[in-house]
Structure 1
Amino acid sequence: MIVALWKALRGFGAHRGLFMAAGLSFYLLMCLIPMLFLAVSLLGFVLTSETATQAVLGQISQVIPVYKTELSDVLTRLIATRKLSGLLGTGILLLFSTQLFGALRLVMNEIFGVKRGRGFFRGMLSDVVMLFVMGTLFLASVAIMDLFFWLRTFVLTPSLMPRQWIRWMFVGLSLGLNAGLFFVAYRYFPGRKILAGAALGGALLGAILWEIAKQLFRWYIITVGVYDQIYGPLGVLVALAMFAYYTGIVLILGAEYGAALEAWRRSRR
């Protein structure tokens, strides 16, 4: 494990992980709103539009650890005033949303040593498929977290369960859901199927690092608050960009660890 971690760090440097993370953070910011629109549209088939919007925003507030009120206000206004609808609007949203998944596919190919990709059209098709797969997993995580909050309110808290236990249950559930998303990204985004054990190892490391990054970033913003002091009203946007950058770093580190584990397992065969 220690050797794999060391190789992951070396791979991060060799692949210029910081530059990769910067590119992924750009695509994440560019695709965030289109993906939110799609999530609200999909949830709108089973819920009212307002309920779907609040469900998605509630999940986003669990992912982004700071500026929850400001982000919710901005996203609510954007969703409420959106103009795209119908097949044309859905197609445009799909086109913008898949840019992030295309970038992820290229990054995963580089890290896992995939020499020959799927080609342009097959790559675009796989990006669309993975968009719906990851979107379905995201919506499933929304339902699971809502169920947990219901249990916390009506079962766990009334039963006088210690608050710290409930907190650790929430952290464990969050880690599990995040690890599932990381696992799908590491195993199925590259141009070849990655060994399940290697993808799982990278996913667990990525989920742990991401939870640590969220808590540290939250502590930093609350304690220092430098973005508000320097950038004023733009502090929320800058903080969101920095959090997207940290997310990209964690995603790449987890992938590098998975690649190191896969290389080690293949060498033993």
Structure 2
Amino acid sequence: MNPARVRRRLHSRRANAYILAHPLAFFMQAIKHFRANQGLLLAGAVAYYALLSIVPFLMLVVVVLSHFIEQAELLLTIQRYLEMLVPSQSRSIVHEVDVFLQNRDVITWVLGVTMLFFSSLAFTVLENAMSVIFVHRVVVRHRHFLVSAVLPYCYVIALGFGVLLVTLVSGALQVMGHEYIQLFAHRWSLHGISGALLYLLGLGGEILLLTSIYLIMPVGRPSLPHALVGAVTAALLWEIARRVLVWYFTTLSQVNVVYGSMTTAIVVMFSLEIGATLLLFGAQVIAEYERVGSDHPDHEPKALTTRPDR
């Protein structure tokens, strides 16, 4: 048997045994190391560039995919699943994309390249943030700069295909929602089942995207179970946070009174910051899992500081 595979299995068993015996200690250590890595500062940077990237990315996706899918159906699908990323603000973003599409004749090659560049910024910053959290891998192995340069654009293309697939599947599920099952004298509508499947499609896509990020973005390659642990952790925490945000913005928030015309940008930025924090915390859970399963579990990661040592 491959010695490296045996070593990984031994580390996984050691980590699983520690987590089962000390779940609270594991969670607190992950929070401690996340703070040491300035996780909130990194999340702010990721959220800022995600805000710059989200609208150009959606514009590019809709312009390209509208040649294959009806524009109204495409925008409806994007709005439905964008709500999982920016609660209560997806309608405003999709409206801006729709306005841009009405003036698509102004698109030039220069504008298209510029939009592609801005669409990839969030992934570039995310890769840099991952290198801080997985610093123990960076010390051992470095990624070629060409790979880092091309990787964000590969993600943009992959997400474009993902939007195409989700639109096709969700369209089929919506059609199913208008059907019914009749057995003897009883008739059951499939609308509820269709809605549940649409939600599970979005949640499954979210977990799949997070898993791919944890597998590809950091230097080196963690095992698939490790990436799934981080992805499920981040996705479940985000689902809780998203529902709290929806409740807050629909019942208690007075942000529109305070910020006026800037409300959409502020709310989107706030939602993206929380999402980026949970995304990076999921990565920290993976890094902590690797640490407790390593041969030196007591090794503390070097804290990231924003001031020079004296």
The normalised TM-score by structure 1 is 0.86
Q: Which amino acid aligns with 2:53?
A: C
In 2: Cα distance, 1:79 partner to 1:127 partner: 24
Distance in structure 2 (CA, Å) of the matches to 1:43 and 1:206: 29
- Structure 2 match to 1:27: 49
| Structure 2: segments with no counterpart, 5+ residues | 1-18, 182-186, 297-310
Tell me which residue corresponds to 2:164: 139
The answer to whether residue 252 in structure 2 is matched with residue 224 in structure 1 is yes
Pick from 234, 237, 240 the counterpart of residue 209 of structure 1.
237
TM-fit CA distance, 1:173: 3.6
**1:161 to 1:133, Cα distance in 2 relative to 1, 3 A:** closer
CA RMSD of the aligned region, Å? 2.7
**Is 1:94 matched up with 2:116?**
yes
Q: Percent identity?
A: 20
Q: How many angstroms apart in 2 are the aligned matches of 1:121 and 1:162?
A: 48
Q: 1:175 to 1:192 in 2, by over 3 A?
A: same
Partner of 1:159: helix, strand, or coil?
strand
Q: Is the 8 A contact 2:78 2:94 kept in 1?
A: no
Aligned AA (2:169): I
Helix, strand or coil at the partner of 1:237: helix
1:105 aligns to 2:156 (yes or no): no
Alpha-carbon displacement from aligned partner over 1:40-67 (angstroms, at most 9, x marks no partner): 1331231244544444334323533213
Shift of 1:236: 1.8
Matching residue within 134, 154, 160 for 1:129: 154
Residues 223 and 145 (structure 1), Cα distance of their counterparts in 2 relative to 1, 3 Å cut: same
Deviations 1:157-198 (CA, angstroms, capped at 9, x unpaired): x724695x7665554443222110100011111121122111
**2:57 matches 1:57:** no
Q: Deviations over 1:124-179 (max 9, x none)?
A: 112222222233234323333333333334348x724695x766555444322211
More helix by share: 1
SS in 2 for 1:257: helix
Match of 2:68 in 1: 46
Residues 1:192 and 2:193 aligned together: no
Distance 1:258 1:239 in 2: 29
Report the alpha carbon displacement of residue 263 of structure 1 after superposing the two structures with TM.
Answer: 3.0
- 1:159 counterpart residue number: 188
| Matched letter for residue 89 of structure 1 | L
Give the Cα–Cα distance (whole angstroms) in 2 for the partners of residues 56 and 170 of structure 1. 13
1:71/1:131 CA distance change after superposition, 3 Å: closer
- Per mean C-alpha deviation after superposition, the further-off stretch among 87-96 and 29-38 is 87-96
Equivalent residues of 2:39, 2:277 under 8 A apart: yes
Matches of 1:247 and 1:139 in 2, distance apart? 23
Equivalents in 1 of 2:111, 2:54: separation in Å? 16
Write the distance in 1 (CA, Å) between the matches of 2:88 and 2:112. Answer: 30
**Aligned AA for 2:216?**
Y
Shift of 1:25: 0.7
Contact 2:89 2:264 survives alignment (8 Å): yes
Residue identity matched to 2:86: I
Change (3 A) 1:131 1:77: same
Counterpart-to-counterpart distance in 2, 1:6 and 1:230: 36
- Looking at structure 1, the residues matched to 295 and 174 of structure 2 have their Cα atoms a distance apart, in angstroms, of 45
1:178 aligns with 2:206: yes
1:149 aligns with 2:149: no
**Secondary structure, in 3 states, of the residue corresponding to 2:179?**
helix
**Whole-Å separation in 2 of the counterparts to 1:161 and 1:17:** 44
Query: CA–CA distance in 1 between the matches of 2:84 and 2:174?
Result: 12
Conserved 8 A contact 1:201-1:261: no
| SS in structure 2 of the partner of residue 21 of structure 1 | helix
Task: Go from structure 1 to structure 2 and tell me whether the alpha carbon gap of 1:226 and 1:161 turns closer, same or farther (over 3 Å shift).
Answer: same
Deviations 1:53-111 (A, max 9, x none): 44433432353321344333333223433566354433222211111111111111221
- Secondary structure at the aligned position of 1:57 is classed as helix
Match of 1:246 among 261, 264, 274: 274
Counterpart among 82, 91, 96 of residue 74 in structure 1: 96
**Count of matched residue positions in the alignment of Structure 1 and Structure 2:** 266
Inter-partner Cα distance in structure 2 for 1:145 and 1:6 = 39
Q: Residue 60 of structure 2: SS of its match in structure 1?
A: helix
Give ranges in structure 1 of 5+ residues lacking alignment. none
